[in-house]
Amino acid sequence: MTTRTDCPLCHGDGGTVLFRNAFLRVVDAQEADYPAFTRVILNRHAQEMTDLNQAERSGLMSAVYLVEALQRRHFQPDKINLAQLGNMVPHVHWHIIARFTDDKHFPNPIWGAPRAAADGPDDEPEAARRNAHIRQLVPAYHQDITQSFSALFDDTADTVPEQTRFEQTLQRITDG
């Protein structure tokens, strides 16, 4: 596996690991205001998606889509943000973030300034109640990630599951 000494994702998990194999890991990002924030991180060091071969790109995106489907199933967010920035950490990784219209940044990106109080919902305690409810759902979500990824990305030598297996797993989740 290729690593760089100056890369925090080459030498750290990037969050609490929910699933890991030789190719990638899925982690809980541990963001207090976004309890369903999840990352999919390529294990080997690569800076851009075009540094990956087609099979790696396909496998990584399959993982991102699987996390998105699981977030939709468990949390019913108003929107899901998928982001692959790498400006601060130039190592291929994706952010999958369940968003709600009452979260502290909506409709803006979570990395920007929070919206002004006058722009926020009238009932701030409602957002706090929703976050508390999401935190109660997180353990089942984490368990579903571990089980789904373990079944899909098994211990075979293949980095990427067959597309048919991925589509079947995604269908099972969305039909849920």
pLDDT band at 136 (very low <50, low <70, confident <90, very high): very high
Q: What is the CATH number of the domain that holds 57?
A: 3.30.428.10
State residue 152's pLDDT score. 83
In a domain, 114, yes or no: no
Q: Which residue has the higher pLDDT, 166 or 71?
A: 71
In a domain, 112, yes or no: no
pLDDT band at 155 (very low <50, low <70, confident <90, very high): low
In a domain, 52, yes or no: yes
Residue 122, pLDDT > 80, answer no
Chain segment 65-79, per-residue pLDDT in tens: 999 999 999 999 999
Number of domains composing the chain: 1
Considering only 34-48, 102-116, 152-166, which range has the smallest mean pLDDT? 152-166
Instruction: Look up the domain containing 86 and give its range.
Output: 8-105+122-169
The structure's pTM equals 0.89
**What one-character-per-residue DSSP string does the chain give?**
----TT-HHHHS-SSEEEEE-SSEEEEE--BTTBTT-EEEEESS--SSGGGS-HHHHHHHHHHHHHHHHHHHHHH--SEEEEE---SSS-S-EEEEEEE-TTSSSTTS-TTSPPPPGGGS-S-HHHHHHHHHHHHHHHHHHHHHHHHHHHHHS-SSS-SS--HHHHHHHHHHHHH-
| Mean pLDDT of all residues belonging to the chain | 88
In a domain, 113, yes or no: no
Q: Which residue has the higher pLDDT, 128 or 117?
A: 128
State residue 79's pLDDT score. 97
In a domain, 41, yes or no: yes
